[in-house]
Amino acid sequence: MDLAKIHIRSGKLTLMTYEGFTTQPIPMLRERVKLNLRERTVDFFDYGYGDYDPQPLYWKSRLIDASFPDYDKQQSFDKRLSVLNIPELADGHGPSLENLTALLRINHGLTIKGYRFFKAQSAIAPL
């Protein structure tokens, strides 16, 4: 488990596991378990292997502290991403990682490699 979310009003606890949480600037949600403490029920959500598409975790630097590996790199990455003013990142969970990659390439001429942004190589469109 990488993150826990406490829902005080509803009495729920959500436990989330991400692929690449400690190594990627945008880790992907793989499993989510929601515990309803009041009703004593458990819901399991499988992302990428089941019925749900993997969800990227944007703004990871808001959820970690300075003791976390690559904290400074994550802060720098999130700051650079915020400067790009991508409207889709302000709405809900944000775009899929594939859509973000396309938006960065088309609108800004950029690509992500690790915790850095690079100029995207031009692709020749098929005729």
Residue 47 contacts residue 30 (beta carbons within 8 Å): yes
Cβ-contact 28, 47 below 8 angstroms: yes
**pLDDT for position 123:** 53
Mean per-residue pLDDT pooled into runs of 10, the chain (127 residues): 95 96 96 96 90 92 96 97 88 86 94 95 56
Asked whether 112 and 120 are in contact (CB, 8 A), the reply is no
User: Measured between alpha carbons, how far is 69 from 46 in angstroms, rounded to an integer?
Assistant: 26
- Residues of the chain with pLDDT > 70, as a percent, come to 94
Q: What is the pTM of this model?
A: 0.88
Bridge partner list, 35: 13, 42
